[in-house]
């Protein structure tokens, strides 16, 4: 995460829906806002959230009465990507029924926050031929909001991981803003090697020594803002590729197989290994003070589903600038 000097959202309140590990919460709190409600259905993620923030998120959002949600200025949501059942040409609020976005929409309809800040996977932009994004846009416009969206890559915001996500920022129509734009890209100055742990007792079990390891002969001495593949294990499928730490990390995934599943393999001190959950957390913008799940498999999955805090912070700064003129 980045250091922020100005508290753009001082005295503002927000809610954290589909909260996961609380990436949105960390970003918004760094900008001065206060979380007044959180919701996350996954029990293991709830436990991690509690360990870090001191409160347990509500469970199944579909069973939450929107009238019971506290008043708030900003609604944050990283809702799942789901297809909508098109019921004609409307493609708005009614077409969102049966999806988890509908639960976001009904809370927005009831509480009318000033800003709705959402995140989803890159493919959300083209999902179902673009119909999914169109319904979300139409729904927000029906509810009285402007709709801004952009696919951003975390590597363009100082974090050496290829992680493309769509970000959606909606302002209530009566809120006076000045020229909101998504943040401009910045130069990448760090690479995977800058995020590695130095405690060998933690990383030694992660090394892989197999006879079916093959290298492509590329010298590992050049820095890049892209991933640099150095070799493979087995047939080189997903989760069997070895990359340089002088490049960027591949996209962390909550699922997937292979010996280097979820993180990819990296050549560290001349030997290949997967990344440690703490290293993954660092590459998602989480500070070392953040308490990740002690069960590695769950930690990898939770981080693979999470958001890059730095990107949220940069977007938050632009929201703050637009509000303050």
Residue 145 is given by DSSP the state B
**252 Cβ contact list (under 8 Å, min separation 6):** 161, 163, 262, 263, 280, 283, 284, 300, 303, 304
- The residue assigned the tokens 């093959």 is 214
76 is known as an active-site residue? no
Residue among 131, 85, 130, 81 nearest 104 (CA)? 81
Distance CA 220, CA 238 (A): 21
**DSSP classification of residue 128:** G
CA Rg, the chain, in Å? 20
The single residue listed with the structure tokens 């009285």 is: 144
Task: Give the whole-angstrom CA distance, residue 109 versus residue 97.
Answer: 13
Calpha distance 149→132 (Å, rounded): 13
Torsion from C-alpha of 158, 30, 289, 205, nearest 10 degrees: -30
Of 35, 76, 81, 293, which residue is the catalytic one? 81
* Residue environment code for 292-316, b if the CB has 16+ CB neighbours within 10 A, otherwise e: bbeeeebbbbbbbbbbbbbbbbbbb
Residue in 230, 279, 237, 232 with CA at minimum distance from that of residue 258? 237
Q: Which residues are catalytic?
A: 81
């Amino acid at each position: 995460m980045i250091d922020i000097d100005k508290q753009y959202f001082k005295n503002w309140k927000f809610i954290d829906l589909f909260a996961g590990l609380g990436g949105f919460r960390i970003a918004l709190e760094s900008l001065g806002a206060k979380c007044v409600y959180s919701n996350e259905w996954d029990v293991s993620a709830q436990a991690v959230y509690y360990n870090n923030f001191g409160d347990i998120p509500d469970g199944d959002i579909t069973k939450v009465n929107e009238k019971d949600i506290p008043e708030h200025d900003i609604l944050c949501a990283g809702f799942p990507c789901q297809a909508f059942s098109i019921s004609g040409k409307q493609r708005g609020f009614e077409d969102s029924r049966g999806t988890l976005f509908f639960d976001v929409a009904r809370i927005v309809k009831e509480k009318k926050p000033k800003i709705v800040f959402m995140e989803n996977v890159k493919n959300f932009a083209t999902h179902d031929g673009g119909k999914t994004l169109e319904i979300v846009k139409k729904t927000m416009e029906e509810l009285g909001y402007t709709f801004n969206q952009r696919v951003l890559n975390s590597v363009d915001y100082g974090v050496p991981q290829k992680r493309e996500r769509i970000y959606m920022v909606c302002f209530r129509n009566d809120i006076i803003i000045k020229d909101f734009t998504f943040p401009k890209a910045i130069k990448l100055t760090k690479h995977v090697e800058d995020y590695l742990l130095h405690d060998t007792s933690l990383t030694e079990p992660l090394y892989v020594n197999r006879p079916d390891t093959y290298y492509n002969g590329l010298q590992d001495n050049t820095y890049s803002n892209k991933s640099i593949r150095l070799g493979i294990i087995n047939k080189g499928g997903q989760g069997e590729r070895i990359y340089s730490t002088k490049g960027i990390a591949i996209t962390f995934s909550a699922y997937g197989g292979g010996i280097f599943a979820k993180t990819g393999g990296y050549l560290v001190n001349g030997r290949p290994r997967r990344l440690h959950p703490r290293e993954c957390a660092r590459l998602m913008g989480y500070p070392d003070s953040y308490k990740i799940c002690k069960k590695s498999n769950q930690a990898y999955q939770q981080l693979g589903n999470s958001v890059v805090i730095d990107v949220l912070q940069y977007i938050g700064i632009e929201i703050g600038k637009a509000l303050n003129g």
